[in-house]
Amino acid sequence: MSIVRFDGFEQFQQDNATPHTWTVATEWLQGRSSVFRHFHWSPKSPDMNIIGHISDVLQRAVHKRSPPPCTPMDLWPALQE
């Protein structure tokens, strides 16, 4: 969930996960519609998961190394490059 101020409004962005679409949460947001601009995203959108993207980039970089890291001590410098 993210709230950003822009043009005097707070913009509310969420991923529409099940807890966020619960009736109480939905009613709370609707009651504050004059304060929030509400942006809808796909439920559990993979594009919002930055950890998954970072993990993928790191894995590809490590797998490119020759020879590949064999110990945690070898892995750390590979991740830092």
More confident: 67 or 7: 67
On whether both 2 and 28 belong to a single domain, the answer is yes
Pair (8, 35) in one structural domain: yes
Q: For the chain, what is the domain count?
A: 2
Strand order through the sheet with 36-40: 2-6, 9-14, 36-40
CA distances from 38 to 24, 32, 61 (A): 16, 10, 38
68 and 41 in a single domain? The answer is no
Residue 56 has pLDDT above 80, yes or no: yes
**Domain ranges, residue 10:** 1-45
Q: What is the pLDDT of residues 15-53, one digit of tens each?
A: 667 777 778 877 877 777 666 666 666 666 666 667 778
Q: How many percent of the chain have pLDDT more than 70?
A: 58
Tell whether 22 and 57 lie within a shared domain: no
Pair (41, 53) in one structural domain: no
Strands 2-6, 9-14: pairing is antiparallel
